[in-house]
Amino acid sequence: MKGLLLEGIVAAGRSEIIRALRDHAAWRRRESTLILNDLFTERANEHLRSLTPESYRTLMLRNLRILQAAKQIESASPLFDPDDRRDLCYVLDGFHITNAIVHADGEFEAFADIDVELERLDCRLVLVMINEKVVGSRIKDVYRRRDERWRAYQERLESRVGDLSAYYVTLQHTYLDTLNKTALKNITIDTTDQDWRRCAEDIMRFWRI
């Protein structure tokens, strides 16, 4: 089992990177792959009346149970050999770092045990970043492409925090600071130039699948 966690602010390009990874030859050669996007890892909680750190912990543990079950299957069967590409490769689009920063007041320690479990599941972390000067334009571009519910969320956020560009620039610094706390092997990827093929190549070299 080999995992990849993509973290980063809105408009950094996580979805585009996932599309580029799926087109990469190394990904296509894998026999078993799984992608859990933010609908599973974060947004599944949007319907809840009370959004607490514990509600996000519950959601993440449910995601982890999927991976833990696959790990048990691999461990119990001689059919799975990491050297022949049969073991599961999985991608998480945002997880405990996003949930700690956005939903637990930045308290990474609230989800430190989840970090430990991800390390046990052989997960590596990629922080997706963009130049601060383009944050505003990238948010506007994503705003045009996302659905009405997403836009409504951003509007509510803007009414609370003020300028969204400044908010996300600060948030990006918080993501970067959190790298000092995680036990996961990690790199940062700059997506300012939107060269998604280059990003996928850099990630695959780091991921080594």
pLDDT tens-digit readout, 8-62: 999 999 999 999 999 999 999 999 999 999 999 998 888 887 788 999 999 999 9
- Asked if 33 and 27 count as a contact pair (C-beta separation under 8 A), the reply is yes
Lateral strand order in the sheet of 186-190: 33-36, 89-93, 2-7, 123-129, 186-190
Please name each of the domains of the chain with its CATH number: 2-207 (3.40.50.300)
What is the CA 46 to chain-centroid distance, rounded? 17
Q: What is the CA radius of gyration of the chain?
A: 17
**Model confidence over 143-184: pLDDT tens digits?**
888 888 888 888 888 899 999 999 999 999 999 999 999 999
Give the type of residue at 189. I
**How far is residue 117's CA from residue 114's CA, in Å, rounded to a whole number?**
5
**How far is residue 156's CA from residue 35's CA, in Å, rounded to a whole number?**
29
What pTM was computed for the model? 0.93
